Structure 1
Amino acid sequence: MRNPDEFDAFYKDARDRLLLQTYALTGDLPASRSAVRDAFVAAWHHWRKVSRLDDPEAWARPHAWAHAQRRHTARLWHREKGLDPEVLATLDALGKLPVNQRKTLLLTQLSSVSLTDMAREVGLPQADAERELQRATAQFAVHRDVASTSVRTLFEPLREHVEAAVRWPRSTIIRRAGTRRRRTHTAVGALGTVVALVATGVLVTDTTGVRPTLGGDDPAVTSASQAEDSARPVATPETLPDSAMLTARQVAKGIAAPRWRIDETNDNTGGDGLVLPCQEERYADPRGTAALLRTFDAGKAKDAAAAFQVTEVSRSDKTAGRTFDRTLDWYAGCTDTRVQLLSTHQVDRVGDEAMMLVLRSWKQDSTMVVGVARSGQLTTTTLARVPGERVPDLDRSAGLLATAVDGLCRLPDAGACAGRPRHSVAAPVPVGQVPGMLGEIDLPPLAGIVRPWVGTEPRKAVLNVAATSCDHADFSAPPMTNNLTRYFGIPGAKLPDEFGLTETVGSMPAARAHAFVEKVRAKLDACPDKDLGTDVTPVADVSTKTTDLSVWHVRTEISDESTVDFLMGIARDGTSVAQVGFVPSGKVTMPPGTFPALVRRALDRLAAMPPPAKG
């Protein structure tokens, strides 16, 4: 089901950004406005697909850029009258760049895409795209007679001009145009299908006896995973009865709320199949043999508690194990906007394997407890969402997961049932491109900021921006290996360039790693004596045989009127080290205790780092 509220929010959030980019690309404001409008019409036409993407704006941008370039066939940089000289000079400088160079510069300066995605959008290998970006930045700076570090500020007059010059149609108008477009395409497609069927005499039947799958795959297509599963004969699937699912009374025992009731039970074949928060696909096992979704609510209010149970039946225990892992990954690495992982819990004595995650949605002002368990070939997920920051009772949540398993474990394809559940805090599930590093899912909200954190692609740590002026910790020198760094910012939040959070990680033999941390500690202790303009306040300092964690607040006087605050933490787990640095901006900072907790999360994630390379 297409959600107009989500589309309206996307339209309101992205339209000025896309217009600025498109205008900077073409220099033609009327063509750019029409192109961006058409891109949103197309986005609503395809909203079921577009809304599932991690970044819907990345889908709309190429459409807007291509439409604008088609509309504008001459060099129109100076056709507008009365332009501010700064705007005119910037457009003229951009017009002197080759198109690919112009695109690399605009994607880097006016969007939050990674270098990898930037290269993909311009259609170049990453190394070539980075070279084009360097040339574009240098040439643009020369044309505008500024330092290359000041390039970003030149786009502000363009932004102000665009925002002042353009009035946007209401989102309802865009949606109506998108709906008409979809109906037209559907009618044309249906006519083409009828013609093709009549011409070829094709009649689709299912008389082969081949067992269909939940994902609608062609049964004649064989993949590597299907070949694996075929080693075990698959009997005729047993029905997954509604009676095996949780009842409203059982949910009430697990999650406190005034009144629970069953809202709906189905096989989740309708709509786009994305019903639960953080869910990435209709089924975690699209080749499974059965599935049931049951939804519960605790009232009609918008902010009332809600609960869900999803159960999937796989073809074998091995495939179910993959289904369990995949489901867990959806929540452990949730890509929903402004969702934070609060804690991870191992759950024992429940089925063959089970875990719970506590997540906080700062966008929806709610807290979620997600339980995932496997019993033989059956994987079940329980999710309870309650308003506010109060975390539901985890003993009762574990009990709810155990009850869900007990309702399923007597079915023919099931495995172990549940005893009295026992849960304990566990390390976060390794997720992301570099599981040993922090991700957006780990980062806390900041007061007054409603936009999400966005991280750059992890890159080799040639420079360590997480270091302070006191320690200058170097992650690039031997014997450090596996050295990577990444930066997190909040695009569109109008924060200064120096704001942000950086993490740098690396590995070396355990004794050398411990010495590396001790050296940083010693330098921070000595810093106030060596630099009288710097104050260093220890915030946390904990060590065990195999781990270290230290956090400091560093304040440096730049002038009599200006100081810079910096929060820095360093952590070690055996052979792996992480340094985390955060530069706040005025009131946009982290509450007391939040940054040390984030460094603790960085320490927990280090367990997924590879061992140091042998040199």
Structure 2
Amino acid sequence: MTDPADFDAFYREVRERLLVQTYALTGDRAVSRGAVRDAFVAAWHHWHRVARSADPEASVREIAWGKAQRRHGARPWHRDKDVDAATRATLDALASLGAQQRRVLVLAHLASVSMPDLAREVGQTVPATEQQLQQATAAFVLARGIPAAGVNAALEPLTAVTGQTTWPRGSLVRRTGVARRRAHTVVGVVGVVAALVLSGLFVTDPSGLRPTLAQAVEGVGVADEGGTDAEVVPDDAGGEPAELLPRSTLLAAPQVARAFPGAGWAVASTSDNSEGNGLLLPCQLERYVDPDGEAALVREFRAARQGAPVRPTAVQLTEVSSSPAAARRALRTLTGWVASCTDTEPRAQLVASRAVEGVGDEAVQLVLRDWEAPVTTSVVQVARTGSVLTATSVTSAGERTPAAAAAAGLQAAAVDGVCRVRGAGPCARTPRVTDVAPPAPRRSPAMISEIDLPPVSRVDQPWVGTDPVPARTNTAATSCDSSSFSGTFQGAAWQRSSTRTFLLPEADLPTEFGLTETVGSLPRAQAQGFVERVRDRLDTCSDDLGTDVTRIGGSAGRDTSLDAWQLTAEVSDDRSIRFFMAVMRDGTSVAQVGFVPAPGVTLRDGAFVELAERARARLGELPAYPAQGAGSRGGRS
């Protein structure tokens, strides 16, 4: 399948399927048609490789989806106003899904790929993909108001909408692909001309006019397809075209080796990330963090020596946005992906969250552990300098957490590499690392989430949390304190009280097993009084026959506190129940966390207190008690 007739037949057979899939992702027919058309242009440009791939349709699909997502971001909905009510309801239901869930659902129902191929396209394991497909299906049918068996029927109207599309002839698509190939040749000529200018062997046009790549191929984005060292833009001084993001700005293997020694690092690939699924960083949901960015480069590193069940890997992703504000939003987007990583990696845990001062305008360091065997630990670092975002991740086998200072050194080197790019801000100084509150998850930011939970012994299943509900009952309380987060306390009414429970539904565990958190806010004096009352009741609970109370942790700071206990209650002569409880406060915000283990299924030593500390950190997202100034954070007015 290498001659023009084969390509034209492939184009006629596949284009409608790719259009309906891309439309399901974007809700925009015009964007979808343009993305699919340009994907076939790129396919003819690389036809010798695409035609010989195991699945040419999948290769073109990745390009089409990437183009559509890069042009319009995560929620380009309601662009088509002339669709019927059924189609609109389906698009709204798709819009309610996360980007990765939407991708999995579309592949399963509109591309009809096998589960192993589906998992490979989205860059996940088969079990993780199966679970995400179940979650996506459940969320879609709930939002659409249909039975689980009605997904295909609900998606059918999209085919009718896209079936009215007109397409350019295959010969025109091929001619555009040939023009693109010539444009890439022009890029090489520009490099030669630049070299001649630098050597003094070439004289520019005295009129100041010069050809540009945009003039070379009208309507064809040269750097959009990869294959060039960088995106090329006119130089403001009127000289030869300058690289907006040269490859020389990226990290080199020796720099990675200095921060993470012993693996024998080497560069595996460098590209503009326009091919493949584009998901290279842990928790990454979209190909580009800033879909409207001006340039992007990614570099992958591989360890030369195995030495572990998982070969260490490293990635650097750099993007240039249109403004510092856009780059700032991109940084928030990327850290938000990490905060919600369990959407793509169900057994991921955010182990540490740190701010790094002295590296560009702002920088964060996040440590993730994926408990899915074989266990891996990743250090994800994101920094912004002006309009430039650069992120690095290093993943290795096991539970060993790399030194924060060494990892920050790599981040500083990454910023120093890009800080001279047009639009960049300050370079790096000596980095200073401090622990900070973790990035807030999309749902219930003031409460712990699945990303915060450590594993339990003898169970290899992910935690699943219920949706938060009003705290009419506080299941985190013990029989010693019997605390309530509803009604009033010392004359003040509880505000913003919510509770949720976390379980391991796939494990065969007793019904009492689980972890619960309840949060709410009171005026500062009452919030402090509530915590003191819990302390008093737990301190005297050991006097009650059959209950043993042991304090296992406690700390206090400026207007904050945390106390944790282990309780063992004798329920019969030969049976006892052990459980853990912690109460914490941050200004006007209060939380209580309870955990009931099962025989042989519990947290490692110290993990419950660490989780309580995370719960206290998340309380900073709960607005202050209204009487103290609604809208401020963390209850601190």
Fold match by TM threshold 0.5: yes
Residue from 249, 259, 265 that aligns with 2:264:
259
* Counterparts of 2:220 and 2:167, CA distance in 1: 27
- Does residue 308 (structure 1) correspond to residue 315 (structure 2)? The answer is yes
* Counterparts of 1:414 and 1:490, CA distance in 2: 46
- Corresponding position of 1:330: 337
- Does residue 563 (structure 1) correspond to residue 573 (structure 2)? The answer is no
- Corresponding position of 1:579: 592
| Alignment-mate amino acid for residue 573 of structure 2 | D
- When residues 200 and 405 of structure 1 are mapped into structure 2, their CA distance, relative to the original with a 3 A threshold, is closer
* Preserved CA contact (<8 Å) 2:375 2:398: yes
- When residues 123 and 462 of structure 1 are mapped into structure 2, their CA distance, relative to the original with a 3 A threshold, is farther
SS at match of 1:522: helix
* Counterparts of 2:325 and 2:301, CA distance in 1: 30
Residue from 455, 458, 471 that aligns with 1:461:
471
- Does residue 293 (structure 1) correspond to residue 271 (structure 2)? The answer is no
* Preserved CA contact (<8 Å) 2:360 2:383: yes
Residue from 338, 343, 356 that aligns with 2:352:
343
Residues paired across the two proteins, number: 448
Q: Could you state the TM-score of these two structures normalised by the residue count of structure 1? A: 0.66
- When residues 211 and 571 of structure 1 are mapped into structure 2, their CA distance, relative to the original with a 3 A threshold, is farther
Give the drift of 1:203. 9.8
| Alignment-mate amino acid for residue 537 of structure 1 | T
Indicate the percent of aligned positions where both proteins have the same amino acid.
Answer: 42
- Does residue 282 (structure 1) correspond to residue 292 (structure 2)? The answer is no
* Counterparts of 1:237 and 1:503, CA distance in 2: 55
- Corresponding position of 2:152: none
- Does residue 393 (structure 1) correspond to residue 403 (structure 2)? The answer is yes
* Preserved CA contact (<8 Å) 2:522 2:588: yes
| Alignment-mate amino acid for residue 490 of structure 1 | L
- Does residue 384 (structure 1) correspond to residue 394 (structure 2)? The answer is yes
Aligned positions of 1:174-573 closer than 5 A: 196-198=167-169, 238-299=243-304, 301=306, 303-335=310-342, 336-363=345-372, 364-478=374-488, 479-529=493-543, 531-573=544-586
Give the drift of 1:304. 2.3
| Alignment-mate amino acid for residue 483 of structure 1 | S
SS at match of 2:548: strand
| Alignment-mate amino acid for residue 591 of structure 1 | R
* Counterparts of 1:209 and 1:320, CA distance in 2: 29
- When residues 483 and 338 of structure 1 are mapped into structure 2, their CA distance, relative to the original with a 3 A threshold, is same
Unaligned runs of 5+ in 2: 1-52, 56-107, 149-158, 177-213, 226-240, 629-637
Give the drift of 1:51. 6.3
Aligned positions of 1:46-195 closer than 5 A: 47=119, 56-57=130-131, 59=133, 119-120=142-143, 122-123=145-146
Unaligned runs of 5+ in 1: 4-35, 64-112, 130-187, 217-235
Q: Which digits, 9 at most, give the CA deviation of each residue in 1:522-581, with x for residues without a partner?
A: 11122232x312111111233344112111111111111211111000000110001000
Q: Which digits, 9 at most, give the CA deviation of each residue in 1:187-246, with x for residues without a partner?
A: x99xx9999545999999798977969999xxxxxxxxxxxxxxxxxxx98431111100
- Corresponding position of 1:22: none
* Counterparts of 2:54 and 2:394, CA distance in 1: 23
Give the drift of 1:120. 3.0
| Cα RMSD (Å) | 3.6
* Counterparts of 1:55 and 1:439, CA distance in 2: 20
Give the drift of 1:423. 1.1
- When residues 241 and 62 of structure 1 are mapped into structure 2, their CA distance, relative to the original with a 3 A threshold, is closer
| Alignment-mate amino acid for residue 530 of structure 2 | F
Give the drift of 1:257. 2.1
Q: Which digits, 9 at most, give the CA deviation of each residue in 1:371-424, with x for residues without a partner?
A: 110111110001111221211122111111111111111111211111111111
- When residues 287 and 196 of structure 1 are mapped into structure 2, their CA distance, relative to the original with a 3 A threshold, is closer
Q: Which digits, 9 at most, give the CA deviation of each residue in 1:557-613, with x for residues without a partner?
A: 111121111100000011000100000001110122110111011011111111123
* Preserved CA contact (<8 Å) 1:357 1:370: yes
| Alignment-mate amino acid for residue 413 of structure 2 | T
- When residues 122 and 525 of structure 1 are mapped into structure 2, their CA distance, relative to the original with a 3 A threshold, is same
* Preserved CA contact (<8 Å) 1:50 1:59: no
* Preserved CA contact (<8 Å) 1:215 1:286: no
SS at match of 1:558: strand
SS at match of 1:469: coil
Q: Which digits, 9 at most, give the CA deviation of each residue in 1:297-336, with x for residues without a partner?
A: 1125352221110001111111111111111222233221
* Preserved CA contact (<8 Å) 1:2 1:47: no
More deviation, 472-481/297-306: 297-306
* Counterparts of 2:136 and 2:524, CA distance in 1: 48
Q: Could you state the TM-score of these two structures normalised by the residue count of structure 2? A: 0.64
| Alignment-mate amino acid for residue 371 of structure 2 | W
Q: Which digits, 9 at most, give the CA deviation of each residue in 1:496-538, with x for residues without a partner?
A: 1111100000011111000001111111122232x31211111
* Preserved CA contact (<8 Å) 1:536 1:553: yes
- Corresponding position of 1:172: none
* Counterparts of 1:544 and 1:297, CA distance in 2: 43
* Counterparts of 1:248 and 1:571, CA distance in 2: 45
